[in-house]
Chain A
Amino acid sequence: MSLPKDLLYSEEHEWVKKEGDKVRIGITDFAQSELGDIVFVELPEEGDDIEADEPFGSVESVKTVSELYAPISGKVVEINEDLEDSPEFVNESPYEKAWMIVVEPSNESEIDELLSDEQYQEFINED
């Protein structure tokens, strides 16, 4: 299972990548492998506000719907429109092609609370 060192992680299996004053968000390799074939991704719209620990969208596999929980609060400034036609990117490339949204964080301290790759690995192992 792939777990890049330069990313931060949430207990709801999202990854967060700091890019200047913005962050990019997606779901982890572990999450996609648990979910199986992703066939549909529902994302918020640009300009929407998202709130930490609240659902901001969903991913659907053949069998199930899973909510996406926001790892931090902020304003959505960009969404990955490719996922509309190519939801399989989530399985094939969870950290690159399948980034989901770019957010302007409204509370920087929430980022500090996210897990490092090692902490996230430990969290998965405990589960």
Chain B
Amino acid sequence: MSELKRTPLYPEYEKSGAKTIDFGGWDLPVQFSGIKHEHNVTRTKAGLFDVSHMGEIAIKGPKSLDFLQKVVTNDVSKLVPKRAQYTFMCYEDGGTVDDFLIYMLEENNYLLVVNAANTEKDYDWLIKQNNYNNDELIIEDVSKNYVQLALQGPKAEEILQTLTDTNLSEIKFFRFENPVYFSSLEAGAIVSRTGYTGEDGFEIYIDQHSGRDLWNLILQAGKDKGLEPIGLGARDTLRFEVNLPLYGQELSRDISPIEAGLKFAVKVNKPVDFIGKEALKKQIEEGTNRKLIGIEMIDKGIPRTGYEVYYNNEKIGYITSGTQSPSLQKNIGLALVNSEFTEEGTELVVQVRKRKLKAVVIKTPFYKK
């Protein structure tokens, strides 16, 4: 067994007694004090997440924009410096290589923030698509350079503002400031108003050597406002309640963004062709055989990833994510099913281990502010 990777913050959460797990080869905290508590803290006050396992890939050079336009589904030409964009990278058949954010740092200089487990795959894929020479385009995996923290929750801005002179209220949704300086830290950080929880908040990218100091500074600054460190367990329930996809569950090699209901970041009418365009266009025009839906259990039981879903006795799909929602106290799930059975109110059956339990199709996102 290969050794688990650790982020520079590992000693900090070891100190606080967090329970860690193997998450795609990384030794990461699944919980600090308890998933439900951490979830509610993030919804009502603020939570601090170490997400340094996320990958960062730099795309630089005069052909950056042309290249990105070819490999991703969103329209990168709409970006201006200090704005971020959510996009997919797809295969020719529309299957998903990854979903990620693109930060436009400046003209001809972009940063992709990709899923940890996909970093190598994405990098290899990008290299494979690159027909330019070194003067025209540079692709570099710079993941190791960054610590990434997410500060999320209604008190996020109030807390972070105590540490910086940069006016954070001017950073609008999906925009960022760079560099932002915190207290006495020398390293500047990228601070974007983005996140994976459905709450207001920021994602912060800072030099790996300054990460621990920043983590402690923020925790200290938020102490009397109820801020707590949050693990991956609550990160998953938070994103699930607001229907943000998790690669490997709602999106995959075999699940296209259109099937997952994420057409908004697939711009088939952008001025240039991109990989997967024909397949995705066809899916939009003709509809897909499968669709991602929300379900709520009627019978007592919790839907879990991989559980089969039936209509009458016909198997129509499976659960991609499911849990007992901490905010709603309901047993809910996302399911990828045959498109014929996706209308709200349709009664379905979920195979929960040995039992067949009734469920009903409901609207997503499950949770709204």
Contacts and interface: CB of A to CB of B under 8 A. Distances in A.
Contact of B302 (A36, A39, A84): A39
A52 interface: no
Residue of A37, A42, A62 most packed against chain B (CB within 10 A): A62
Contact of B323 (A36, A58, A62, A84): A62
A65 B36 contact: no
Interface stretch (B27-35, B64-72, B272-280, B288-296): B27-35
Contacts of A39: 36, 302, 323-324
A63 B324 contact: no
Range, interface on chain A? 10 to 19
Interface string A26-40: 000000000011011
A61 interface: yes
Interface residues of B, number: 20
B326 interface: yes
B35 A62 contact: yes
Interface in A6-25: none
Contacts of A62: 35-36, 39, 233, 237, 323-324, 326
Contacts of B301: 40, 42
A40 B302 contact: yes
Contacts, number: 40
Majority secondary structure, A binding face = strand
Interface in A21-75: 36-37, 39-40, 42, 58, 60-63, 65
A123 to B, nearest CB: 20
Interface centre among B30, B236, B302 (most CB of A within 10 A): B302
Given A62-B233, A62-B326, A84 B300 contact: yes
B149 to A, nearest CB: 22
Nearest to B233: A63
Given A40-B301, A62-B233, 14 more contacts: A36-B31, A37-B34, A39-B324, A40-B300, A40-B331, A60-B324, A62-B39, A62-B324, A62-B326, A63-B30, A63-B35, A63-B236, A65-B304, A84-B300
Interface of B: 19, 30-31, 34-37, 39, 233, 236-237, 300-302, 304, 323-324, 326, 331, 353
19 contacts: A36-B31, A36-B34, A36-B35, A37-B34, A37-B35, A39-B324, A40-B300, A40-B302, A40-B331, A42-B301, A60-B302, A60-B324, A61-B35, A62-B39, A62-B326, A63-B30, A63-B233, A63-B236, A84-B300
